[in-house]
Structure 1
């Protein structure tokens, strides 16, 4: 029995002397992975978004865009109570670090959930996205959001991979004045020129597009901006 009593002591001593297992990065207090745990609860571990479309994909979007949205939530110019509360007391540097972290992420795109609409609706959506509607003063979506709809540096988000319910909801919020951007607010101007049918058409067409081979946003101002936009410096 004496020998048996010694063995546990030896085992315990060896275990106590052994180096501790590496701490996962998200448990390191000063790591960015730890700092974004409040984000990933809703937006996914890599910012891939949720399948129901309520929480959008934020991975790979320009850091400037993500930072602007975080500041808007903090300042109350963009309103969604959980986000307003989450970032209320975070300093600029903290928000910038969060934005840059998610801008670097490249998780795979989730399978799409196409809206079921007729061919004429899809044709209208494709026309608005690809060429716009000059009669309405609506520029093509690709003119600002990039040829591959992956966004444009520094402040225009990609549309690829967003759920149709989210796209429709945001366009509607701009139309009714619930969402704002830096002046001049080009998105509010564009959204107010769209009808309900146009919103459905754009949303439906986007919902049917395959994931881009390269989700990276385009370089800043590779095309001339069709409208002055507060989030994007217009080339002279």
Structure 2
């Protein structure tokens, strides 16, 4: 009686040979499919979290980076790389990137202008929203808090080269970043004007300002103000003229 083993062995050899041929064909096709070396292709790692074109989502965790001033985006990339801002994923991605490449990434996202989503209601009461509006447009002289528009522009869409916009962002994100300055886990170039301002704001002030900002519609032209035209209300890194 013939032994079954040799026949099974021949069958397995044929299967492996067929699989090997298929793998070789796939590898040859893969070699021909060259990934384009473009900035759009290279920043796809960023869009996994920040959304297509950097538009982000409404979850409040990853911010919109599209359309922000290139200088601001560059500063944040440097801060993550150098440890002034702490988020392990960002630090790991940026650890070995040179300044020139970070500027290229920043400029790419600054040039993107996808549409903004509609604002989400904050569920705040009218009194809180009015307090927020006053803080944003007038500040609080008694507390030494300047108006947000004094730095972030009359439209609150930011000021080139390095001051970001404040509208079009979820309230949770705004609360998270102001809170980080409040407890000292976020830093900017000295003198750190935001850290100085936030220390003068009460919890109620922060809640009111973020509530009002998050409910504002973004104007049709959401571009940052081209340049600083007035002296900032206090020294702020290298931004003051």
TM-score, L = length of structure 1: 0.86
Q: Deviations over 1:38-87 (max 9, x none)?
A: 11000011111122011001111100000000001011111011111111
- 1:39 pairs, out of 46, 55, 68, with 46
Aligned residues: CA RMSD? 1.3
Does 1:157 pair with 2:164?
Answer: yes
Match of 2:112 in 1: 105
Give me the whole-angstrom Cα distance separating, in 2, the residues matched to 1:112 and 1:85: 32
Measure how far apart 1:231 and its partner are: 4.6
Q: Deviations over 1:72-122 (max 9, x none)?
A: 101111101111111111111111100000000100001211211111101
**1:62·1:155 contact (CA, 8 Å) conserved in 2?**
yes
Give me the whole-angstrom Cα distance separating, in 1, the residues matched to 2:70 and 2:63: 15
Aligned 1:81-100 pairs, distance under 5 A:
81-100=88-107
Does 1:116 pair with 2:154?
Answer: no
Does 1:186 pair with 2:196?
Answer: no
Match of 1:140 in 2: 147
Bigger drift between 126-135 and 209-218 goes to 209-218
Gapped regions of structure 2 (runs ≥ 5):
1-32
Gapped regions of structure 1 (runs ≥ 5):
1-22
| DSSP-derived class of the 1:82 partner | helix
| DSSP-derived class of the 2:222 partner | coil
Measure how far apart 1:36 and its partner are: 0.5
Q: Point out 4+ residue stretches in structure 1 off by more than 2 angstroms.
A: none
| DSSP-derived class of the 1:134 partner | coil
| DSSP-derived class of the 1:125 partner | helix
Give me the whole-angstrom Cα distance separating, in 1, the residues matched to 2:230 and 2:129: 26
Match of 1:71 in 2: 78
**1:181·1:231 contact (CA, 8 Å) conserved in 2?**
no
TM-score, L = length of structure 2: 0.84
Q: Deviations over 1:18-52 (max 9, x none)?
A: xxxxx89xx41x20011101110000111111220
Match of 1:177 in 2: 184
Match of 1:60 in 2: 67
Give me the whole-angstrom Cα distance separating, in 1, the residues matched to 2:139 and 2:116: 26
Count of matched residue positions in the alignment of Structure 1 and Structure 2:
209
| DSSP-derived class of the 1:136 partner | coil
**1:125·1:205 contact (CA, 8 Å) conserved in 2?**
yes
